[in-house]
Amino acid sequence: MSLRVFHLDFNSAAFRPDAVEAALRAAAASGCNAILWEVEDKVRWGTCPEAVHPDACSKDEFRRLVAFGRSLGLEPIPLLQTFGHAEYVLQNASLAHLRELPGEYDCYCASNPEVRSLLRRWIAEYCDLFGAVRFFHLGGDEAYHFGQCPHCASRDRIDLYAEHLLSVSEDLRRDGVKVCIWDDFSRKSTWWNKTPDECGDRDISPLCPFVLWNWDYSPETDFSHAAELAADGFDTVVAGSASCHGDDPFLPDWEHHLDNIAAMRRAAETPGVSGWCITSWSIRYGLKRLQLPMLASDPETALAAVLPGLASDAALRALRLAGAFDKRLAVFLAQHWTRYKDSRLAPSGWLAGRIADRACVVDAETLRQRIPELIAGLDEAAATLAKAGRDVGPGAKPPSFSALVLEGAHLKRFMLSALGAALELPGFAAPTTDSLMALRDRTIAYYSIEMTPSTARRAAEVVWNPFIDFFD
């Protein structure tokens, strides 16, 4: 049976159980048959208690969520990162000796036997928590500093990469579990590693024991690498996204994701491709509920259906306008300011430093035009969405889809206005500190619809504190 997977990512956010259950119900109703659980520090782990978030759930609480998903026909696929994206572990001083480089806290050292021992124990704990599984995902993506310490640098990167994976997955493979990884190191090039010597024609046959998940979030992609992998005999899954880099902190870029997911579904029909996965990266902070209609086999119809009172073309136009963003503006937003998945607050003066960096604002004339265009689109979308239903106020309980989009659009509009003022664009007045703090509080309430109170507060602070600091 072909995999149809939705990704639940708990990095940067602890989710309320009712929000997780709602996502599981929506995934099952949309035809998904599996959930990729990237839980990271949101379970009370015994193997690595240093990496447990204050809002982590108990194992019994998490087992209930997995069991609920199973009752809906959603096969669980655990994901434990085994190379990069280990910030939640390696930021702890007591575990710093496991880092690839002393000054970087995202990547494990694959030559350190202590790392492999920790990961094998942790995988066993995952297996105890999840019960019998057919698939287990070991991550492996965006390991920016992999292979750079003196021990690792002396090794062939693919050989070391495969050796590490084979070691930590030995028990899984012995028990017949299919081990999955992201496809980064099977590519001839990646956006974060472009040197020909490193990414030229390499022998990737050491990766043959693993299911390679080809992720590509571009709306123009044809997932050609997945087709190449499948033609070479690799077991392959394609992965698009309902939330990724390029989204603003409030609303998904529906147009971008709809095109990407459509391409993913077409690629999943390629002979040798075993299925698809729609990822949803929580470091972007947007509400899961706004992404869920994109899981449907006909996502445009599903999106139009959640906006009653609007013709389908008007509904889709409103969503495309509300979700539109410009990646060039992301350099001024702090939810990913370290480049790592760590949700750290930007230091004082960070936004001023970004604006002073001419490399960030080299295309100032385009930004001068683009920000007003985005705001005009939000205003048109809000006027349209106000016709979608009566319960459109932020206090409606439970809030309708249109109410959530309208509130996200409101917050996004003020964020763009604050950014326009910070960039000294004509027509934008500097906001007061009190108004920015009120927006931060309103964002906390918005995120709290799905997140626990403390992670909702942290997310809102990450978004708004740089503006409060700048205009103070």
Residue 36, CB half-sphere, CA atoms under 13 Å: how many? 28
Q: Given the structure tokens 């906006």, which residue do they identify?
A: 307
Cα separation, 398 vs 388, whole angstroms: 15
Angle among Cα 436, 439, 443 to the nearest 5 degrees reads 140
Q: What confidence score (pLDDT) does residue 204 get?
A: 85
Find, among 76, 66, 72, the residue nearest to 29 by Cα: 72
* Burial readout 327-337 (b: 16 or more C-beta within 10 A, e: otherwise): eebeebbbbbb
Cα separation, 101 vs 107, whole angstroms: 8
DSSP 177: P
Q: What confidence score (pLDDT) does residue 189 get?
A: 57
3-state helix, strand, coil in the chain (%, to 5): 50, 10, 40
From residue 252, alpha-carbon distances to 321, 362, 450 in Å are 11, 26, 15
Q: Given the structure tokens 């000796």, which residue do they identify?
A: 97
Q: What confidence score (pLDDT) does residue 196 get?
A: 44
Q: What confidence score (pLDDT) does residue 362 get?
A: 59
Q: Given the structure tokens 């190449």, which residue do they identify?
A: 228
| Model confidence pLDDT, tens digit, residues 20-38 | 999 999 999 999 999 999 9
Cα separation, 285 vs 443, whole angstroms: 11
Across the strands, what pairs with 35? 6, 76
Cα separation, 362 vs 364, whole angstroms: 6
**8 membership: H or E segment, kind and range:** strand 3-9
Tokens at residue 420, please?
């326009």
238 and 272 Cβ atoms separated by less than 8 Å: no
Cα separation, 323 vs 278, whole angstroms: 18
**166 membership: H or E segment, kind and range:** helix 157-168
Pick out the chain residues at pLDDT < 50: 191-192, 194, 196, 199, 392-393
| Model confidence pLDDT, tens digit, residues 367-383 | 778 999 999 999 999 99
Find, among 43, 52, 123, the residue nearest to 82 by Cα: 123
Q: What confidence score (pLDDT) does residue 343 get?
A: 86
From residue 446, alpha-carbon distances to 93, 247, 395 in Å are 33, 17, 10
Q: What confidence score (pLDDT) does residue 192 get?
A: 47
Across the strands, what pairs with 75? 34
Domain formed by 3-305, architecture: Alpha-Beta Barrel (3.20)
Find, among 49, 228, 193, 57, the residue nearest to 122 by Cα: 49
Find, among 108, 215, 196, 195, the residue nearest to 160 by Cα: 108
446 and 392 Cβ atoms separated by less than 8 Å: no
Q: What confidence score (pLDDT) does residue 387 get?
A: 83
Across the strands, what pairs with 238? 214, 276
* Burial readout 238-255 (b: 16 or more C-beta within 10 A, e: otherwise): bbbbbbbebbbbbbbbbb
Q: What confidence score (pLDDT) does residue 191 get?
A: 43
Alpha helices for 359-432 (secondary structure H): 364-385, 401-422
Cα separation, 238 vs 277, whole angstroms: 6
Q: Where are the domains of the chain?
A: 3-305, 312-471
Cα separation, 405 vs 432, whole angstroms: 25
